[in-house]
Amino acid sequence: MLDNLRVVLVRTKYPENIGMAARACANMGCSDLVLVDPLNLDLDKALPLATAHARHILESVRVTHGLAAALADAHVVFGTTARTGGWRKSLVPPVEAGRMAAAELVKGKRVALVFGSEDKGLENEEIQMCGQLVTIPTAREMSSLNLAQAVLVLLYECFRQSQPAGHAAHDQVAERHATHAEQEALMANIQETLSAIDFLKPQNPDYWLLPVRRFFAKLDLRRSEFNMLMGICRQVRWIAGKAGKNTPDKNRQGES
Ligand code: SAH
C-alpha cells in the first residue's frame, strides 16, 4: 500500500539507526529505503536492530551520492526537521503531512520522506529540495527525536491515513458499532432491569429512563460492549429474582 513511499536518510552516522529505521519501514509497509552518503554502513550493527522481518529492506537498500540522486524520480518530497525558524518556516505537523502524502500516493505519485543526520539534521540546500517541511511537535526543552523514532512517527501517519475508509489496520480496532436495533434492545433490557431493582418508578418508567438513554447515546458502543451490558442486565435480574424481586424467569442464568 505504501509501495510508492520512500524513506531517505541523509548522512546517517549510526548504523543502528539505519537498522531501526528499516524496522519502522517494515512495520508500516514501506520497503523503499535510500541512504544518502551514509557515514557508516555497517550492516552487522544495523541488522540486529532491523530484526529478521526488515532484513530484506536492508539488503535491498540503495545508496546514493547527494540528496538529488535519491529524489530524482520522486514527485512529492517532505523534509523533516527538529529545528524551526530561519530556512525552516511554514512547517506542517505529521498528521498534515500524512494526509497530504496519502492523497498523493492514492494518485499513484511517488512520495519521499527525507531525514537528516543525527547531529546536524538537513542542510539548507537540502531543505530547499523539499516541497514541504514537517516537524514533530515535542516538549520545548527537547525537540530533537531519535532519527528512527522520527521515521516511525512520519510513516505511521502515512500508513494510518492510507488505510481505505472503514478498514482498520490488522483488524485490531475493526470491531463494529452497536446498531440502532441493538441499542434499542439494550434500552428495553436496561428498563426491565432497573424496574426489577426498583430504580425506575413504576409510573411512567419511559420518562424516568430518559436520562439513562441520553447517557448511553453519548457512548460509542461497540458490539462486544453491547453484549457485555446485556449480560450484566440478565445477571442483575437473576440476582434480583433470587432476592424476591419481581422479575421474569425467561432470562435467568448464572447457575455457576
Ligand atoms: N540537531 C538536529 C537534530 C537531528 S535529529 C536538527 O536540529 O535538525 C535527526 C533527524 O531526525 C532530523 O534531521 C529529522 O530528520 C529527524 N527529527 C528529529 N526530531 C524531529 C522532529 N521533532 N521533527 C521532525 N523531524 C525530526
Cα-Cα-Cα-Cα dihedral of 225, 230, 235, 237, to 10°? 140
- pLDDT for residue 254: 43
In the reported structure, the alpha carbon of residue 134 is separated from the centroid of ligand 1 by a whole-number distance in angstroms of: 10
CA-to-CA distance for 217 and 36, rounded, in angstroms?
54
pLDDT reading at 156 higher than 50: yes
Flag whether pLDDT at 255 surpasses 50: no
The C-alpha atoms of residue 67 and residue 41 are separated, in whole angstroms, by: 17
Q: Which residue has the higher pLDDT, 247 or 81?
A: 81
According to the model, what pLDDT value does residue 132 have? 94
pTM as predicted? 0.74
Distance 114 CA to ligand 1 centre (A): 10
Among 11, 78, 81, 152, which is best to mutate for testing ligand 1, by the most ligand atoms less than 8 A from CB? 81
Give the three cell numbers for residue 93.
505537523
For ligand 1, is residue 116 a contact (CB within 6 Å)?
A: yes
250 three-class SS: helix
Cα–Cα distance, 107 to 47 (Å, whole number)? 34
78 in Cβ contact with 154 (< 8 Å): yes
* Residue 44 and residue 16 in contact, taking contact as beta carbons nearer than 8 Å: no
Q: In the prediction, which pLDDT does 124 show?
A: 93
* 94 Cβ below 6 A of ligand 1: no
Residue 87: CB partners within 8 Å, gap ≥ 6? 124, 127, 128
- Is residue 252 pLDDT above 50, yes or no? no
The predicted model gives 238-254 an average pLDDT of: 66
Sign (positive or negative) of CA dihedral 186, 191, 192, 196: positive
CB count in 10 Å sphere of residue 174: 10
> Using a 6 Å cutoff on CB, does residue 123 contact ligand 1?
no
Which atom of ligand 1 is nearest the CA belonging to 136? 23
* C-alpha 147 – ligand 1 centre gap (Å): 6
Task: State yes or no: pLDDT of 2 exceeds 70.
Answer: yes
Quick: pLDDT tens for 111-131: 999 999 999 999 999 999 999
For residue 205, is pLDDT > 80? yes
How far is it, in rounded angstroms, from Cα 33 to Cα 52? Answer: 16
More confident residue, 1 or 229: 229
Backbone Cα Rg of the chain = 27
Ligand 1 site, residue 80, Cβ cutoff 6 A: yes
* Among protein residues, the one whose CA lies closest to atom 5 of ligand 1: 118
Contact 131, 71 (CB under 8 A): no
User: Residue 220: what residue type?
Assistant: D
Mean predicted confidence (pLDDT) in 166-185: 74
pLDDT cut 90: percent of the chain above it = 73
Q: Which residues of 71-99 are buried (b: 16+ CB within 10 A; e: fewer)?
A: beebebbbbbbbbeeeebeebeebeebbb
The mean of the pLDDT values for the chain is 90
Average pLDDT over residues 73-91: 87
Taking only the tens place, the pLDDT of each residue in 229-245 is 999 999 999 999 998 86
Dig out the grid coordinates for 145 from the structure.
Answer: 527525536
Rounded to whole angstroms, the maximal C-alpha distance in the chain is: 83
Let me know if 178 is exposed, middle or buried by CB neighbors in 10 A (0-12, 13-18, 19+): buried
